[in-house]
Amino acid sequence: MAETYRKLSILIPVFNERSTVEKVLLRVRAADTLGLEKEIIVVDDASTDGTGDILKKIAQDSAAKVVTHPQNRGKGAALRTAIQHVTGDILLIQDADLEYDPADYPTLLKPIIDGRADVVYGSRFLGGPHRVLFFWHYVANRFLTLLANIVCNLNLTDMETGYKVIKRKCIEGMKLSSNRFGIEPELTAKLARRRCRFYEMPISYDGRDYSEGKKIGWKDGLAALWHIFRYRFFD
């Protein structure tokens, strides 16, 4: 019997995104969610650039729920906080930096709503339009994805993607511990261990460079190597 989905919980971790957060929320509110009610949960990870003031106004004027961390803890910690407030049937992770376009929501949601998938990753490497940026970031991403595929027995093209859509029941009771960008391999490994059905769908990608506020760096790439093995075999 096909499952019925009524609500989509959109989780938005935010840190120092004053120039983009309002635009992202406007696009999220306007996005087509294939008939699903939207629940928007924003976690401000102790921003210091005025993002928090913008979010306070948004919380007063819109349906978005805003939660604030007193100290900066990282994307993974922000997502763990957001998950505590979820009431939707499906979870969608949305970055606040305009690299990922909410216009892709129908593409991402369809495999779950159609009953073909439990988890959908939006891949930047399946032919969608994307900004041309750093070669070595591309190489590192593909290497980490290959390693995750080997240890998790998957065939993803983009493990580090910011667009991850997950049926709520797939993460119920799951203990997540990553504070920073290790949340990407942690989710992948633990969802694979639960034998969830993965799908990938092509998305557009308007990547940023560091002068525009990009935060992930080479240290996060090195940490991801450990996280892939840790969360597959030891955690």
Radius of gyration, alpha carbons of the chain = 17
* pLDDT tens, position by position, 36-61: 999 999 999 999 999 999 998 888 87
pTM of the model: 0.88
* pLDDT tens, position by position, 3-24: 899 999 999 999 999 999 999 9
User: Which among 91, 65, 95, 112 has a CA at the least distance from the CA of 8?
Assistant: 91
CATH superfamily of 7-234: Spore Coat Polysaccharide Biosynthesis Protein SpsA; Chain A (3.90.550.10)
pLDDT at 215: 54
SS3 105: helix
The rounded distance, in Å, linking the Cα atoms of 231 and 108 is 25
Each domain of the chain, given as residue ranges in start order, spans: 7-234
